[in-house]
Amino acid sequence: MARTLEFCAGDHFRIGADGTWFHDDQPIRRDAMVRLFASILHRDGDGAYWLVTPGEKVRVTVDDVPFVAVGMDVAGAGAAQVITFETNIGARVRLDAAHPLRVRGTAAGPRPYLRLDGGFEALVARGVYYDLAALAVPGPDGRAGIASAGKVFALEPEGMAP
């Protein structure tokens, strides 16, 4: 017989726009605890975020996206270049067709996001975005882009004229 999850009401968990996790409005300072919660974080078809255990389901309020890309490594050059990001929870994600970059915002205030597995995204931290911009090449649509894994990803928001 299928077991029903107990829904725990209340907004006890929140993830700030900078990737900080909060419980009852207090920051969770232990990295191991944040990684544990991140490992049970799920996103449903309506875009809501949940911590799901075998017995409970707790809603999580997310200010922007749940993760932040806080570092990157570059291997190779030119067409062979591959960029790998590291998130605030220690995950390493290669920039490729399955994990593309998209940029929202404006030219004066771009907000780049990296797609992760499970329907999640990570905001690319400002310093990391500047590191990407230093590697920019002209993209196929005329916008500045970044080459990784044989593809060029735009570094400027969609709709920006070259």
Query: What is the pLDDT, as a whole number, of residue 67?
Result: 97
CA dist 82 and 131 (Å) reads 14
Query: What is the pLDDT, as a whole number, of residue 50?
Result: 94
CA dist 104 and 44 (Å) reads 23
- Consecutive 10-residue averages of pLDDT for the chain (162 residues): 51 91 95 95 93 91 96 92 96 97 87 94 96 90 90 83 50
Query: What is the pLDDT, as a whole number, of residue 1?
Result: 44
The model's pTM: 0.87
